[in-house]
Structure 1
Amino acid sequence: MKRALPLLIFMAISGAVFSQENPIGIFEDNKDIGNPKLAGSASYDETSQTYTIKGAGYNIWGQRDEHRYLYSKVKGDFVATANFEFEGNKEIHRKIGWMARASENDNSVMVGGFLHGDGLMAGQWRERKGADMQNPEDDVWAQKRYQQIIQLERRGNTFIVRAAHPGEPLQEISSKQLEFMPEAVLLGVVIGSHDENVIETARVWNARIDQPVAEDYNPGKDGWIGCRMETMNVFDGKRRVIHEKDGRFEAPNWMPDGKELLFNEDGSLYTIPINGGKTEKLNTGSADDLNNDHCISFDGKMLGISHNDGEGSNVFYLPLDGGEPKSVTQQAPSYLHGWAPNNKEVVYVAQRGENKVYDIYRKPIKGGKEVKLTDNKKWDHADGCEYSPDGKYIYYNGSKNGGTMQIWRMKPDGTEKEQITFDQYNNWFPHISPDGKWIAFISFSPDIELNSHPSYKKVMLRLMPTSGGAPKVIAHLYGGQGTINVNSWSPDSKHIAFVSNSKKSVKVD
């Protein structure tokens, strides 16, 4: 719906203090730490955006470490997340995971979240340079085993390790204050074999390094910070970054031919090939102040938009290949969210009269009276309305009496309202797959402001069957407003597109 706040930084890359010998993927360097007996190596597959990392080393423990390291220098707070998996089945004490080090010295201050060969997941650290790591003083073990997703976050001098199995929310493993960790650290992925005569191998994918904004950050005042355009297979969770920019872009639609994405940037719409490449501006005529609410008709012929026409946001439509828009609503604010399967009506949220709450409305695109489908009171909110492909339901997110935002559905005439999700998260923007079988939506933490969907938050994308069942997590990311405001399913119902907040590589002195 409305434009909102954002910010974040994808990578902070250095060159002044530490050498840049072997950049790989998003990491500026790739080397052995501690001079292991056997040299490690790493490779990066551009197509799958997957790292294969090989390394030896006696251990990551005691007074010094030996391991292979893919890293960049990052200054300040960060959130680093990735999927990890060993190849083969050798030493049970081998380790893979995220690490932050004070330096390349083998005895430096360090902290990390490590998956071991026997499935043990632990947060471990060395508080001082040359200190002897001890058990249990310098580690915390998770109750679960074999978590594939590992996250390391820094907040000031506090380092937090989280982990999850695919489909699950992240759970905190450890939180440790490290007084002697410098502001700029070497942050990256690591493998150690725990046997100096053996080289172990692991794969790492969905690797993201984000730097969160301050709590008082104001994008309207301080400016927008960049984004990544990503696509993801919803069934195996594998993601690909296809486009990055220091500026702001939002809300991708998958085009009907399956070959391009459509997205909003600076009040205009652009297309980009699904594997990345040159962006092209779509002709929207006199509509030059578009919101991030745009959607494609079920027959693939028309495009609906929300445009600020001087009176506020109103709903318009035009041919999908471009042209002069035609007006649907004449009263602002009105924010488009979906087409009816008959391609003759749209659904949108709007404020009407003195009751300054958002309700859902339906209206024919070629004239006719708008029909109010919800009747919200103070503290209530409705948003993200979208038809199922069979036309039987309108799905939406809603809150009641100032409560948690949840996913709902109703009949197209506004009757038989039914709550779909029941959990502690604030769930927004339900999007139904073209085959009608799946709902993808974004989940914010329980502590966000009432009825808000802000930018630059740790969020989850989740998936559930339209037939019912528990949602599962399909992505952990730093995003929010603009991530998935519009339906972004691929025509084959296997992939979605979304925006995560980031900034392209910025060197740190």
Structure 2
Amino acid sequence: MVRTLQPGQCCEVWAASVTGESSRVFRTADMLLEAPNWTLDGRALILNGDGKLWRFDLATGSLSEVPLTGVPDLNNDHVLDPGGSGIFVSGDDGHIYRAPLAGGHATRITDDDGSFHFLHGVSPDGRRLAYVDIAAGDFTRPGRLRTVPSAGGPPENVEVGQGHCDGPEYSPDGIWLYLNTEAFTTAPGHAQLARVRPDGSQFERLLASGTVDWFPHLSPDGRLASYVRFPAGTRGHPADLPVDVVLVSTSDWTAPLSTWAVFGGQGTLNVNSWSPDSKRFAYVAYPMDAAPAIRA
């Protein structure tokens, strides 16, 4: 389902620095944009909105559609091909596609296996994708962690215990999958950050917290990570509530380096949004603000 802004709501795209500053780079009341990816040349952000893919040029502040064919409406699960010329996207039909980042025809990757497939990660060599499998598209059932060849083929399960998991993303060296999971708790919806080897071994918790923690994203140099922190008691990753965007060192997930409070949640930080130089990352906020939209 394509998300839209509520009456009086705005969409703001922000760039956060590893030194703790943040700046608003775009603001609109015309369309709800989600889940920025930073392009490998450092010049643009790729976002979804109105079921389409968009490119935001950081130098000019211009937003332009990436024209794709052969795909249904898109959701906020999209990641760049490591080579920089392609992008993997998830459609609202429950399938994963690959498309040229400059626009063009998309090719479906996943099979009709009775599940919905929600993309989150691509291996550094571009050969495998990590995704969450929802059996029969039944969202009352927990997501299962799977990987699949990026050219298509049979998927493989990665065992991570009981409970829902989401956001599986490869580390820059490809030897870990980072994710959020409910496997460490009996409290409904209490997602925590974890990692596991792609073969399912060494499944381990990264942080024990009283908050609901989602979508860990490592910087390209592997030294830092961002994630989104929901209030205790949150189930899933809903939209339109106060959340924190958190920056940590991967050597110590327990001590935030910086925290940004935003009104958002769903769409704020669903995919990896780090700049290629590991100095900044992007996120989206959705404040309720009836003032006319301007570009900051």
How high is the TM-score relative to the length of structure 1? 0.53
Larger-Rg structure? 1
The answer on 1:266 being equivalent to 2:50 is yes
Report deviation, 1:505. 4.2
Secondary structure, aligned partner of 1:263 = strand
Structure 1 position 440, deviation (Å)? 0.3
Percent sequence identity over aligned pairs = 31
The higher-RCO structure (CA 8 Å, 6+ apart) is 2
Residues 357 and 376, structure 1, Cα contact 8 Å, conserved in 2 = no
* Equivalence for 2:226: 440
Alignment partner, residue 124 of structure 2: 341
Q: Residue in 2 aligned with 1:294? A: 78
Other structure's SS at 1:446 match? coil
In 1: Cα distance, 2:2 partner to 2:205 partner: 26
> With structure 2 as the length reference, what TM-score do the two structures score?
0.88
Cα distance in 2 for residues equivalent to 1:361 and 1:485 = 18
Compute the displacement of 1:302 (Å). 1.9
Cα distance, 1:7–1:446 mapped onto 2, change above 3 Å: farther
Q: Distance in 1 between matches of 2:94 and 2:29?
A: 26
| Alignment match, 1:476 | 261
Amino acid in the other structure paired with 2:178: Y
Q: Which residue of 1 aligns with 2:35?
A: 251
The number of residues matched between the two structures is: 284
Change (3 A) 1:485 1:411: same
Matched, 1:373 2:158: yes
Unpaired stretches in structure 2, ≥5 consecutive residues: none
Residue 136 of structure 2 is aligned to residue 350 of structure 1: no
Q: Does 2:287 align with 1:502?
A: yes
CA distance in 1, matches of 2:153, 2:71: 22
1:25-104 alignment to 2 at 5 Å?
Answer: none
Cα distance in 2 for residues equivalent to 1:255 and 1:4:
24
CA distance in 1, matches of 2:28, 2:124: 33
Aligned partners of 1:398 and 1:408 also within 8 Å: yes
Counterpart residue number, 1:490? 275
Contact 1:318 1:325 in 2 (8 A): yes
| Distance in 2 of aligned mates of 1:490 and 1:243 | 20
Q: Which residue of 56, 61, 66 corresponds with 1:282?
A: 66
Contact between 1:359 and 1:372, CA under 8 Å: does it hold in 2? yes
2:192 to 406, 416, 419: 406
Alpha-carbon distance change, 398 to 469 in structure 1, aligned in 2, over 3 angstroms: closer
Letter in 2 for 1:419: R
Question: 1:333 aligns to what SS in structure 2?
Answer: strand
User: Following superposition of structure 1 onto structure 2, how do residues 11-22 of structure 1 map, counting pairs within 5 Å?
Assistant: none
Go from structure 1 to structure 2 and tell me whether the alpha carbon gap of 1:5 and 1:402 turns closer, same or farther (over 3 Å shift): farther
Query: Please, which of 393, 398, 418 is the counterpart of residue 204 of structure 2?
Result: 418
- Once the two structures are TM-superposed, the CA of residue 232 in structure 1 deviates from its matched residue by 1.5
Contact 2:245 2:260 in 1 (8 A): yes
Q: CA deviation at 1:333?
A: 0.8
**Aligned residues of 1:263 and 1:271 also touching (Cα < 8 A):** yes
Correspondence 1:428 to 2:214: yes
Contact 2:12 2:24 (8 Å CA) reproduced:
no
* Alpha-carbon distance between aligned partners in 2 of 1:237 and 1:414, rounded to the nearest angstrom: 37
Q: Deviations over 1:446-499 (max 9, x none)?
A: 032x3x111111111111222234231421111100001111101111111111
Q: Which amino acid aligns with 1:349?
A: V
Secondary structure at the aligned position of 1:357 is classed as: coil
Given that residues 216 and 225 in structure 2 are in contact (C-alpha distance below 8 angstroms), is that contact kept between their aligned partners in structure 1? yes
Q: 2: CA distance between counterparts of 1:459 and 1:276?
A: 29
Cα contact 1:8–1:502 (8 A) shared by 2: no
